[in-house]
């Protein structure tokens, strides 16, 4: 069916009429990827003006708008009038008109869990930097170098008194690079722009963990929030993150004769199922078995307020380490490697997508071993 293209007018302020193209049936908007009936030309004429300059403006503008209308109709209905090269150039030009910010927003909407939060935060900084819009055809290496500098110097959304941390900036910029990679794969970009742009190098951060002796001291120390204590110890025994523990229901826990207990987990970052074997000790922390849909740790919450109980508990055990709940997951990974479990197994148990993530813990273990070796000094 041929697409009809009509030139129409819409009343706007100042006694003017905005010109737009009306398509029937609807066509796909190359910027949003959604069907549309209208395409505003960003051109206007003056209504009922007696000014000769306005009349001349109206005549020339309408003539130009009609020329655009005819060209659009030809492009839609008579592609045979263009050579293969011309068709390709038209396609590339149309793709270049698409909005990179809108494309990033569409990819963000496909994310979930904590990954969605990171993408959404990146989108906010991108919107501010671009004033909400930038065409693919306007993207360049220098543009992204400027955006990189922006992330490294901009204030954090969480606090107007501090800058975005280096590693957070690195994480956000990686989302932009991933979007460029996808755009090249989708053939919106004609060149692999992502490959030309270097990432923000991450700074090494210390991952705090507990030794087995410190963990045993905590077990013997009372806590004002016993539920939080049980969950923290459970995390240290299983490597499960807070959200996984909080979302766990009794239907996720199974027992297989000869194999023991297993928990079905789903990582927030990957949304992939992971069948995790747990020890008898870990199972003993779950409490009384309930209905399959019931939460195992009903009422579990964690916030700055609940973190006070964690700090008090750690202090009561005589430990001076600055720990968060996530440090118990770090503790599991580190203690497993200390005990000789191979890094590949630990990576699978933690649900890591990339072995490089797990290698951070291996480095901690290597450093600790080096410190242990250096403690033995003889008097030669």
Instruction: Give the three-class secondary structure for 254.
Output: strand
| pLDDT category of residue 308 using cuts at 50, 70 and 90 | confident
C-alpha pair distances (Å), 9 with each of 2, 25, 40, 63, 235: 22, 19, 9, 14, 64
Question: What pLDDT, on a 0 to 100 scale, did the predictor assign at position 23?
Answer: 92
Specify which residues 163 forms β-bridges with.
155
What confidence tens digit (pLDDT) does each residue in 105-155 have?
999 988 876 678 889 999 999 999 999 999 988 999 999 999 999 999 988
**Domain coordinates of the chain in residue numbers?**
4-81, 100-196, 212-374
Q: What is the pTM of this model?
A: 0.53
Element (DSSP H or E) covering residue 53: helix 52-77
Residue range 212-374, CATH number = 1.10.443.10
- 99: its two tokens: 């909005």
User: How many residues are present in the chain?
Assistant: 380
Higher pLDDT, 108 or 302: 108
Cα-flanking dihedrals φ and ψ of residue 332, to 5°? -55, -50
What confidence tens digit (pLDDT) does each residue in 246-273 have?
889 999 999 888 888 988 876 555 556 7
C-alpha pair distances (Å), 230 with each of 48, 132, 261: 78, 46, 18
């Amino acid at each position: 069916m041929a697409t009809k293209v009509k030139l129409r007018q819409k009343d706007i302020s100042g006694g003017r009429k905005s010109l737009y193209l009306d398509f029937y049936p609807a066509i796909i908007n190359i910027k949003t990827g959604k069907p549309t009936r209208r395409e505003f030309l960003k051109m206007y004429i003056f209504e009922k003006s007696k000014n000769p300059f306005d009349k001349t403006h109206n005549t020339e503008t309408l003539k130009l708008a009609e020329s655009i209308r005819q060209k659009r109709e030809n492009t839609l209905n008579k592609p045979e009038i263009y050579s293969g090269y011309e068709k390709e150039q038209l396609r590339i030009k149309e793709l270049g008109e698409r909005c990179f910010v809108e494309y990033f927003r569409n990819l963000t909407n496909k994310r979930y869990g904590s990954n969605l939060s990171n993408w959404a935060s990146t989108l906010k900084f991108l919107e501010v930097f671009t004033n909400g819009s930038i065409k693919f055809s306007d993207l360049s290496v220098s543009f992204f170098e400027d955006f990189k500098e922006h992330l490294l110097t901009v204030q954090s959304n969480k606090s107007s008194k501090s800058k975005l941390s280096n590693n957070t900036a690195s994480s956000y910029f990686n989302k932009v690079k991933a979007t460029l990679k996808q755009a090249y794969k989708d053939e919106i970009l004609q060149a692999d722009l992502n490959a030309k742009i270097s990432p923000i190098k991450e700074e090494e951060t210390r991952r705090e963990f507990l030794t087995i002796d410190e963990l045993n001291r905590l077990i013997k120390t009372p806590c004002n929030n016993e539920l939080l204590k049980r969950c923290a110890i459970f995390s240290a025994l299983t490597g499960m993150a807070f959200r996984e523990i909080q979302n766990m229901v009794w239907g996720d826990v199974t027992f297989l004769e000869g194999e023991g207990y297993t928990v079905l987990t789903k990582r927030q970052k990957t949304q992939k199922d992971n069948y995790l074997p747990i020890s008898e000790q870990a199972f003993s922390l779950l409490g009384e078995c309930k209905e399959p849909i019931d939460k195992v740790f009903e009422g579990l919450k964690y916030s700055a307020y609940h973190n006070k109980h964690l700090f008090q508990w750690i202090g009561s055990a005589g430990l001076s380490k600055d720990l968060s709940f996530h440090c118990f997951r770090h503790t599991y990974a580190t203690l497993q490697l200390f005990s000789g479990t191979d890094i590949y197994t630990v990576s699978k148990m933690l649900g890591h997508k990339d072995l490089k993530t797990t290698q951070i813990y291996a480095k901690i273990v290597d450093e600790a071993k080096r410190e242990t070796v250096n403690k033995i000094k003889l008097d030669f």
